[in-house]
Amino acid sequence: MEVMTAAGVVEKEIEIPQSRLLQMLRCTVQNYDWGGIGENSEVAKLSSLNSKVEIEVDKNYAELWMGTHNSGPSFIVDSDNLTLKSWITENPSVLGDKVLEKWGTDLPFLFKVLSVAKALSIQAHPDKESAVKLHKSLPNLYKDDNHKPEMALALTEFEALCGFVNLEEIKGVIQSVPEIVELVGNVEEDQLLHVSEQDGEEKVKFVMQTIFTHLMSACKESVSKMVSKLKSRLIEAQKERQLSDKEQLVLRLETEYPGDIGVLSAFFLNYVKLNPGEALYLGANEPHAYIHGECVECMATSDNVVRAGLTSKLRDVPTLCSMLTYRQGYPDILPGVAVNQYITRYMPPFDEFEVDRCNLPEGEFTEFPAFLGPSLFVVTRGAAKIQVISADHREEKEVRRGDVFFVAAHAGIIVATTNMEGTGGLQLFRAGVNSRFLSEL
Phi, psi (deg, nearest 5) at residue 300: -65, 150
345 is a domain residue: yes
Residue 44 belongs to domain with CATH number: 2.60.120.10
Count of CB atoms situated within 10 Å of the CB of 9:
15
Is 421 annotated for ligand binding?
no
| Domain that residue 101 falls in | 22-116+336-439
153 and 241 belong to one structural domain:
yes
348-374 pLDDT tens trace: 999 999 999 999 999 999 999 999 999
Catalytic residue flag (residue 307): yes
16 is a domain residue: no
143 and 224 belong to one structural domain:
yes
In this prediction, residue 421 carries a pLDDT of 56
In angstroms, the Cα distances linking 186 to 6, 177, 310 are 58, 13, 26
Which of residues 286, 319, 334 is at a domain's end?
334
10 is a domain residue: no
Is 125 annotated for ligand binding?
yes
Nearest to 218 by CA among 190, 251, 259: 259
C-alpha torsion 113→76→90→2, nearest 10:
-70
Mean pLDDT within 262-286: 95
Position 221 pLDDT exceeds 60: yes
In this prediction, residue 6 carries a pLDDT of 46
348 and 418 belong to one structural domain:
yes
Position 297 pLDDT exceeds 90: yes
The percentage of the chain sitting over the pLDDT mark of 70, rounded to a whole number, equals 94
174-200 pLDDT tens trace: 999 999 999 998 888 899 999 998 999
In this prediction, residue 116 carries a pLDDT of 98
In this prediction, residue 189 carries a pLDDT of 86
37 and 172 belong to one structural domain:
no
In this prediction, residue 222 carries a pLDDT of 96
Is 288 annotated for ligand binding?
yes
7 is a domain residue: no
In this prediction, residue 5 carries a pLDDT of 44
141 is a domain residue: yes
360 and 277 belong to one structural domain:
no
Confidence of residue 67 (pLDDT cuts 50, 70, 90): very high
262 and 329 belong to one structural domain:
yes
Position 92 pLDDT exceeds 70: yes
Which of residues 300, 334, 368 is at a domain's end?
334
Active site residue: 20, 26, 307, 430, which one? 307
In this prediction, residue 423 carries a pLDDT of 63
Is 328 annotated for ligand binding?
no
31 and 154 belong to one structural domain:
no
Confidence of residue 172 (pLDDT cuts 50, 70, 90): very high
pTM score, two decimals?
0.91
Count of CB atoms situated within 10 Å of the CB of 169:
17
190 and 77 belong to one structural domain:
no
281 and 416 belong to one structural domain:
no
326 and 347 belong to one structural domain:
no
Task: Measure the N-to-C terminal CA separation of the chain; round to a whole number of Å.
Answer: 20
Residue 285 belongs to domain with CATH number: 1.10.441.10
